[in-house]
């Protein structure tokens, strides 16, 4: 199998990429968001698009052509929406890269340029989807944009991310137990973040809590919080705020000040306090989502244990037809 | 004051627009979404961007230049995030159009190309922000894209939208009362939509319920529902599903089938049943959000009356410093 670096090299040798589409479903869509945010912020020549896979099939962008790169991700490898979108964009001569955990699955086909990732606990972050996305995009930027000056910083981040995540995991273990002890019976909570890490507020909600714990919750952009949602804030409503880094951190800081003044039940998960600063300031905002993902695993595991609701229990997904 | 049509004409006379940014906060951000969706789907030459206004100030896209059009919307005209973003993008030679309800406010300045809209009940939909956005973009597409063939259909939609919305408002009055009677004590609900109308699931949640009723709720993309959130579905959880039109309707239809099978408490608001089909199929998906907005007004008014929670009551917004 070719490495992510070899795949992107073979694509840019043939075509200049002008549009990068990130298309997947649920948790895989979450994993692609930091890459979308990275291109949107850093690129002078490429536009980024992030959307539920089937949106791209039913409403195909007119920029789907040989200058488009479509990154899809399907953990099972057989998500129908992902298989369909891959085929649909190939018909428009777009370039596809498909991530999957499942060798031999429907997206593991040569014209999709498959990348098989391992998902075991001991796998390095730079071999998991969020890491692979950054590896691909870092090479893409280097190959195409002469003024791109973050290549070495991203490589350094890819090197350090795994250690940071593992140390943070140990560091938060006791606080996740305390969180679960205090809040396991909460009927509802809000989860806030911004920037590249907004994806993890979304993922924490839809995957870790709604799917795996059947817990009702809502994700919010911590800037948008002040334009409506904050009116729900009171001493009884629970909030989790993920404080990212980079230029979007101002949103999270503002929300933190407000929560400290007007809420009583809140949990702050701060990427800075958890060590993301070991990676250079120029790029660490793109790595914070990897760290936050692992924190969602830690918190949901504490909740599962206290609530005695197995993370893998499903009543619909893979159980009934829909 | 110049008309929206005159403003866009003067802009395209000077520059070719290649990127359209839609930047605002809260309810105003909601109003700009259908325009973002329209450009993303229809344009062969322009890219669209939709984001909380301050994101564009703290992480400026590298496509902010003389070929960019930045549409901002501030109801009060003094939203600091909107004023700042307007100034920041002018410094990059981007073109600005600012919508506001407030003549003489901070965004009502000549270099922002202001459009003052009226917000009274009797004002035609095509004079309110969602209508004005479609008027501007329709002219922009006609001026720049020779193969654009929906110009007349959009004009026809702008002509018909107001009547459709007013008839729908009468049609749903009793059902909004029944909804409030049944569900006014619900602690939580989910609101789903997709396509251009996804904005109205978001707006219904953050403005009508979280802000105006202090009711906890969560917006969902009706396609993403199947990739996690649907595991919360049971006989006790309340859902509102807004069924839009156009190619995204398949998402909503799939969610409806599921709700009918596995939920007991749900409300379907169907743009088709409410008359959106009077506008041509080619474009009516872009007008469904106007219709849905008015439905959110109807539902929240019924809730306010039953819950005796005034829509205009605020505990933080405009009340405390933040």
With 90 as the cut, is the pLDDT of residue B316 above it?
A: yes
Residue B67 tokens read as 């070929």
What is the count of residue pairs from A and B with beta carbons less than 8 Å apart? 162
With 90 as the cut, is the pLDDT of residue B28 above it?
A: yes
User: Would the CB atoms of B230 and A316 count as touching at under 8 Å?
Assistant: yes
What DSSP character marks residue B192?
A: E
How far A48 CA sits from the closest chain B CA (Å)? 9
* Interface check B61 vs A, CB under 8 A: yes
**Mean of per-residue pLDDT scores for chain A:** 97
User: Would the CB atoms of A59 and B195 count as touching at under 8 Å?
Assistant: yes
User: Would the CB atoms of B316 and A233 count as touching at under 8 Å?
Assistant: yes
Residue B222 tokens read as 């009706």
C-alpha separations of A134 from A123, A277, B158, B218, B268 in Å:
16, 18, 44, 30, 41
Sign for the CA dihedral angle at A246, A251, A257, A263 comes to negative
Residues of chain B with pLDDT > 90, as a percent, come to 100
pLDDT value of residue A283: 98
Report chain A residues whose CB lies below 8 A from the CB of B197.
none
Q: Show Cβ contacts of residue A214 under 8 Å, excluding neighbours closer than 6 positions.
A: A309, B231, B232
With 90 as the cut, is the pLDDT of residue A126 above it?
A: yes
Bridge partners, A72 (sequence order)? A23, A98
* Interface check A259 vs B, CB under 8 A: no
Torsions phi, psi of A73, nearest 5? -145, 125
With 90 as the cut, is the pLDDT of residue B83 above it?
A: yes
pLDDT value of residue A275: 98
pLDDT value of residue A262: 98
Torsions phi, psi of A71, nearest 5? -95, 120
pLDDT average, residue stretch B232-256: 98
pLDDT average, residue stretch B36-62: 97
pLDDT value of residue B187: 96
User: Would the CB atoms of A227 and B26 count as touching at under 8 Å?
Assistant: yes
The stretches of B117-246 forming alpha helices (DSSP H) are 129-144, 151-183, 198-203
pLDDT in tens, A152-186: 999 999 999 999 999 999 999 999 999 999 999 99
Residue A239 tokens read as 């909030």
How far A90 CA sits from the closest chain B CA (Å)? 18
- On whether the CB atoms of residues A131 and A125 are closer than 8 A, the answer is yes
The span from the CA of B315 to the CA of B311, in Å, is 12
Determine which of A20, A75, A194, A232 to mutate to test the interface with B (most B C-beta atoms within 10 Å): A232
Report chain B residues whose CB lies below 8 A from the CB of A52.
221, 223-224, 251
ipTM above threshold 0.90 = yes
pTM here is: 0.98
Q: What are the start-end ranges of the E strands in chain B? A: 19-24, 47-52, 68-74, 95-100, 114-116, 189-193, 217-221, 238-243, 266-270
The span from the CA of B59 to the CA of B38, in Å, is 24
Report chain A residues whose CB lies below 8 A from the CB of B47.
47, 63
pLDDT average, residue stretch A255-276: 98
User: Would the CB atoms of B231 and A44 count as touching at under 8 Å?
Assistant: no
pLDDT value of residue B1: 82
With 90 as the cut, is the pLDDT of residue A1 above it?
A: no
pLDDT average, residue stretch B154-161: 98
> What is the β-pairing status of strands A189-193 and A238-243?
parallel
pLDDT average, residue stretch A114-132: 96
């Amino acid at each position: 199998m070719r490495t992510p670096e070899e795949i992107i090299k073979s694509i840019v040798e043939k075509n200049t990429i002008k549009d990068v589409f990130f298309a997947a479903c649920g948790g895989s869509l979450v994993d692609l968001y930091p890459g979308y945010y990275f291109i949107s912020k850093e690129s002078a020549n490429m536009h980024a698009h992030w959307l539920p896979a089937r949106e791209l099939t039913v409403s195909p962008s007119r920029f789907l052509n040989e200058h488009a790169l479509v990154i899809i991700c399907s953990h099972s490898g057989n998500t129908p929406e992902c298989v369909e979108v891959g085929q649909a964009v190939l018909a428009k001569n777009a370039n596809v890269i498909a991530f999957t955990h499942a060798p031999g699955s429907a997206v593991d086909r040569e014209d999709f340029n498959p990348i098989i990732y391992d998902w075991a606990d001991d796998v390095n972050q730079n071999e998991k989807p969020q890491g692979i996305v950054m590896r691909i995009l870092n090479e893409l930027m280097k190959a195409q944009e002469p003024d791109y000056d973050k290549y070495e910083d991203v490589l350094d981040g890819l090197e350090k991310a795994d250690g940071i995540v593992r140390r943070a995991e140990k560091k938060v273990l006791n606080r996740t137990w305390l969180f679960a002890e205090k809040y396991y019976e909460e009927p509802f909570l809000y989860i806030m973040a911004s920037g590249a890490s907004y994806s993890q507020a979304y993922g924490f909600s839809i995957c870790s809590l709604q799917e795996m714990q059947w817990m009702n919750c809502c994700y919010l952009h911590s800037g948008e919080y002040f334009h409506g949602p904050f009116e729900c804030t009171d001493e009884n409503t629970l909030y989790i705020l993920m404080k990212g880094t980079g230029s979007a951190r101002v949103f999270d800081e503002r929300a933190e000040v407000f929560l400290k003044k007007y809420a009583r039940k809140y949990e702050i998960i701060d990427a800075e306090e958890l060590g993301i600063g070991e990676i250079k300031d120029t790029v660490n905002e793109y790595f914070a989502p990897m760290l936050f993902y692992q924190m969602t695993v830690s918190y949901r595991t504490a909740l599962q244990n206290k609530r005695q609701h197995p993370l893998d229990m499903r009543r619909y997904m893979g159980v009934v037809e829909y």
